[in-house]
Structure 1
């Protein structure tokens, strides 16, 4: 019974240490000017996605890595025109990959293995987390107010 108590305490402490390692940076070396997202639909049935655009300013060089949004992860792309711009492209298409179904199970071994990963953050609909590196240390910053842009808003 005592071993069970010690094991449960170790598991609880390990669980809290995992949450503590993913704390958000309160004072990042950049300032978010605007953060928007837009859903899009392609020309073929089932082809769709979401683009997240983040405009920022910074006096330091920052290596942006990923964006976590809508229970998905995407690599961030940096666009430098007049303003610094980060873009995350999320493919939400419903087109399925071809899988092999056969009476002979050895032919089905070529099918890709489905990976189920737990999403590391609990986010609301208009929240996102971006990861970036400074001095080889990965940091996370939470954006609380992403604004949804409709295609009708773009025409104004």
Structure 2
């Protein structure tokens, strides 16, 4: 009886440690000063661009990797030494669906792929994923505003 209790308690401890390790924790501060974080939606090409402007050039030990915003993920690219941009494609791919009263004629239709976001965010929040010495970190940005395209 004691061995059964020990086995169950070891399993419970192992599971609780496993779930704690898989949770991504946000950093309280970003390693460099962020001047602005904003997004722009271009209605012509149907894309949303997310920008981060830093006060100084990005430290060589840091690398901006991804941004999670509005249930989408995009990779950062450098525009200048202080400005980084990520591009989201808002238009869905035009896939032809066959709709017919006879279900056998709809055989070639593909089910839509639905990706669940890693984070639960409000519409004005974003999470920046960056790495420092091959270690991944997450920083949550609050009050991301939209700026008009010039």
Shift, 1:30, TM fit: 1.5
Cα distance between partner residues in 2 of 1:59 and 1:8: 43
Equivalent residues, number: 138
- Cross-structure match for 1:41: 43
In structure 2, list runs of 5 or more residues that go unmatched: none
Superposition TM-score, scaled by structure 1 size: 0.70
Determine whether 1:117 maps to 2:119: no
Query: Structure 1: which 5+ residue stretches go unaligned?
Result: none
Cα RMSD over matched residues?
3.1
Question: What is the deviation of 1:12?
Answer: 5.7
Distance in 1 separating the partners of 2:93 and 2:22: 35
Q: Determine if the alignment matches structure 1 residue 30 to structure 2 residue 28.
A: no
Q: Distance in 2 between matches of 1:123 and 1:115?
A: 21
Bigger CA radius of gyration:
2
Paired residues for 1:3-152 under 5 Å: 14-19=18-23, 22-42=24-44, 48-56=46-54, 57-58=56-57, 60-61=59-60, 62-80=62-80, 84-98=82-96, 103=105, 108=108, 115-151=113-149
Q: Distance in 1 between matches of 2:28 and 2:37?
A: 17
